[in-house]
Structure 1
């Protein structure tokens, strides 16, 4: 799989808190604050700093502001199923530096375990797992009539993009990351777009993402080349908010979080312009990430209502673009497998793996040793296959 991304603007530097503010924090939060990193770039954080930060992004106002997403009045039950005995799981979790794993099959909990002093009540940041939530909100906006077609031009909904390289780009091409607009996603290059666009000063009265993206040149004709681009997911978020006239967090609450029966509040970090960072940074419990997997398995039906078009996930979760990785592809902000499975993935080990054939959902959070380049991604893929094999064997 290719690099998963993070909107670096969400990770602002932790400043020295004023005495009055610091004293007002609870003991646990003060402890977390003491361990917080001071560098803006998450890739520069030390492991213990990430351990502290990934569970507390939304708890420190000096770190970042966030919108709150209220849970359902009646949470979707997750009854206990037959326990799944997974040989070597302790070693696997240690190697992954797992914060939590929840495995559901046929809507029942077959495995649930936590690490890194994290638990079922805590919220862990999603990083690019949020992209798949944002994609789903596009489907909801189509179902609600706010967006007419995926073939509509993006500039119809974001006037600030008129006259730019995005003028002829469709919503579908944004969803599949095939706009053809030039973009550098290299996190280790301080001059890359992904490093610069979050810190660029926006034009007066314009969303920060739109202000940066509208200046980019074209590299390929729209629709021809797949190229991973976090900035474009942020554009999708702006587009949904513009079409619905609602903040993303509010729309997610209305269309997914409450209808799908999420049990706990969630949050969504805000960027420089006060807009939710669509490509990153939802904070939620591991169980509620798993419930989102059930929502996808159910075809987007929740609370007795069809939230997205009936064929939405049939299109969103299959290979729309080849990514040069045999057996895998890219859908509408989903990573696809040729066996019909699909995943939402974020750097440092966040993921929701969904296998419709086996009615299987694996939600996991972690703090890998490296963002994507260590041994953990391959081990996680092997773990998914191990769980599938156990289920096929009737274990």
Structure 2
């Protein structure tokens, strides 16, 4: 599995004063350990258990913007439990799962929590945020703020002019096929992903833009897929530049408030005060499931289309080969050849969406490491088991309806 580890959070364990008492018990316990390393890869499991639920409560680099919920809440009615041929308790223990919410035909058919996490608490999304960011590109096109995914990126981020991004379209940024050189190796302290957040930007320029404009080209645009966290951050800047709004405000305006999310979420910021669009939305797991419902509903809110026609189809089908049989990459969504697609983040965060089965699986976890092979493969097996359970349920329902019709 290809995931990005974003080294973006600077935590300070001393000098909090009165702010200490505004944080919950888990955060206080976390800070009491004296953790000051900004890289989550070097935290202990226990520190991550505490920290992942309260990242927006720490004195981060530049704080967090609130993604405001509205006055109305979209209810998630409880449905009949989905009969699964798998031990959910064992699965959650092996996943070190904080939350698992399965929605089928608009009803919650399974909802479980672990690691002392709850339905009303928030957990960081990591790269799940990438898929929400790409959806805002669609919203901006529908609003007329962005003309087309075929436009040059430099039409919207003028500071990229004169760089390797002169030949890159918005679509190529969305699909990570820019051809611009990038090293996403987190074991290499000199890699781009390890360096770009610490980059000292040119005066008046966003940190990400300043770093990315210095990168060379390694392949013709559109020909090579490489996972690049920095480019998702560029997408966020592009949306903000085009709309004149922060990502948090725009997400609240277009989806979070009108669709009926249960509570405010937050979005961490970089040192230039912009949302880190490749990472770090803190939200309730049920609200991530609601975002899945927004996608399943064709990107509509109260009957109004928020996204262009066919946007979801284009965004969630394979636009780029990633070298894994049966999988691909769309507009910041991981795709499966059976038609399902997913938003995924390190340490086990995810939203799995299967339109054909009217199915959503929202999950949060704290895996033993960022992308462990065992837990990653086990999660995909779980997705398949849930799909099989839905298929069996549909077959039973169809058989019962046929029997009743014949009686």
Q: TM-score of the superposition, structure 1-length normalised?
A: 0.97
- Structure 2 CA distance, aligned partners of 1:168 and 1:349? 35
Matched ranges for 1:327-346 at <5 A: 327-346=326-345
Structure 1 residues 370 and 137: CA distance shift in structure 2, 3 A: same
In the TM superposition, what is the alpha-carbon distance from 1:201 to its structure 2 partner? 0.6
Matched residue SS, 1:287? helix
RMSD (CA atoms): 1.4
- Structure 1 CA distance, aligned partners of 2:245 and 2:104? 34
Check the 8 A contact 2:5/2:186 in 1, yes or no: no
Structure 1 residues 189 and 286: CA distance shift in structure 2, 3 A: same
Moved over 6 A (4+): none
Pairing 1:73–2:71 present: yes
- Structure 1 CA distance, aligned partners of 2:23 and 2:342? 37
In the TM superposition, what is the alpha-carbon distance from 1:8 to its structure 2 partner? 1.4
Check the 8 A contact 1:150/1:172 in 2, yes or no: yes
- Structure 2 CA distance, aligned partners of 1:49 and 1:56? 11
Aligned length: 393
Q: Deviations over 1:69-119 (max 9, x none)?
A: 111211111011111233311110000000000000011000000000000
In the TM superposition, what is the alpha-carbon distance from 1:17 to its structure 2 partner? 2.1
Farther-moved stretch of structure 1 (365-374 vs 240-249): 365-374
Farther-moved stretch of structure 1 (361-370 vs 31-40): 31-40
Partner of 1:43: 41
- Structure 1 CA distance, aligned partners of 2:110 and 2:294? 19
In the TM superposition, what is the alpha-carbon distance from 1:63 to its structure 2 partner? 6.5
Structure 1 residues 330 and 113: CA distance shift in structure 2, 3 A: same
Q: TM-score of the superposition, structure 2-length normalised?
A: 0.94
- Structure 1 CA distance, aligned partners of 2:276 and 2:392? 42
Structure 1 residues 90 and 27: CA distance shift in structure 2, 3 A: closer
- Structure 2 CA distance, aligned partners of 1:246 and 1:91? 44
2:54 to 29, 53, 56: 56
In the TM superposition, what is the alpha-carbon distance from 1:6 to its structure 2 partner? 3.6
Matched residue SS, 2:253? helix
Partner of 1:230: 229
Q: Deviations over 1:208-252 (max 9, x none)?
A: 000000000000010000000000000000000000000000000
Structure 1 residues 285 and 85: CA distance shift in structure 2, 3 A: same
- Structure 2 CA distance, aligned partners of 1:233 and 1:193? 14
In the TM superposition, what is the alpha-carbon distance from 1:35 to its structure 2 partner? 4.3
- Structure 1 CA distance, aligned partners of 2:66 and 2:155? 29
**Structure (1 or 2) with the greater helix fraction:** 2
Gaps of 5+ in 2: 397-407
Pairing 1:167–2:166 present: yes
Matched ranges for 1:207-286 at <5 A: 207-286=206-285
Check the 8 A contact 2:61/2:271 in 1, yes or no: no
Question: Which structure is larger by alpha-carbon Rg, 1 or 2?
Answer: 2
- Structure 1 CA distance, aligned partners of 2:287 and 2:304? 19
Partner of 2:403: none
In the TM superposition, what is the alpha-carbon distance from 1:7 to its structure 2 partner? 2.9
Partner of 1:358: 357
Pairing 1:138–2:142 present: no
In the TM superposition, what is the alpha-carbon distance from 1:27 to its structure 2 partner? 4.9
Check the 8 A contact 1:328/1:335 in 2, yes or no: yes
In the TM superposition, what is the alpha-carbon distance from 1:42 to its structure 2 partner? 1.2
Matched residue SS, 2:290? helix
In the TM superposition, what is the alpha-carbon distance from 1:185 to its structure 2 partner? 0.1
Matched ranges for 1:12-27 at <5 A: 12-22=10-20, 25=23, 27=25
Pairing 1:84–2:46 present: no
Structure 1 residues 129 and 334: CA distance shift in structure 2, 3 A: same
Check the 8 A contact 1:35/1:48 in 2, yes or no: no
- Structure 2 CA distance, aligned partners of 1:209 and 1:119? 35
Check the 8 A contact 2:23/2:57 in 1, yes or no: no
